[in-house]
Amino acid sequence: MYIHKEGYKIITLTVLLAIIILSVMNYFIDSWNWYWYSLAALIIIIAFIVIRFFRIPKRELVHNEDQVIGSADGTIVVVERVYEPEVLKTECIQISTFMSPNNVHVNRYPVSGKIIYTNYHNGKYLIAKHPKSSTLNERTTICIETDKGKKIVVRQIAGALARRIVCYAKVDQQVHQGEELGFIKFGSRVDVFIPLESNVHVELEDKVKGGLSVLATL
């Protein structure tokens, strides 16, 4: 396990702030009681939670050109037939994964191929489980074309707590299944849009892991 680079600055500031607050408390408080001990413990716990949020566990990632693997850790909240109007402009299958603050928040490419489209949209900060969050929230859309000509769309969506979407995808870039696509800070959702003829392997409320769980077979 290691700490993701997106967390270096936030973790450094959080730990420094915690040290400063605890040092000031220790200097000015002559008589410690349960209240001050509880407050100190809360400060340490908050710092630990921030550090833990940016953890990245080591994994033996799945590699199969005929499969769509999970782009994120979390819970499946949508599996349905929809019309995707931004890139594909056709009906397809949408599979959405909701990430709670407790999940690993790195996002991964579900397939290998060439990036043919990326676009960032400003938007609202509805709860990520909300059906309208896919089209109304702040989001980044990426389209990958596989070597077999299949087009897969991945959409990073900010939630009520997530206020920063980081996306590494660049148009014309060749990417590999399981590589890091980006990161969403503090709770969010990732939608994957795949061809209608795909064989889906997940259901609502299933728990999945990015880079490991097989969402569908193309």
Say if residues 156 and 188 touch (Cβ distance below 8 Å). yes
The single residue listed with the structure tokens 């569908």 is: 216
Say if residues 75 and 97 touch (Cβ distance below 8 Å). yes
Catalytic residue among 71, 134, 188, 213: 188
Q: Which residues contact 109 (CB under 8 A, 6 or more apart)?
A: 71, 144, 154, 175, 176, 177, 178, 179, 181
Q: Which residues contact 179 (CB under 8 A, 6 or more apart)?
A: 108, 109
Is 23 among the residues known to form the active site? no
Positions annotated as catalytic residues are: 188
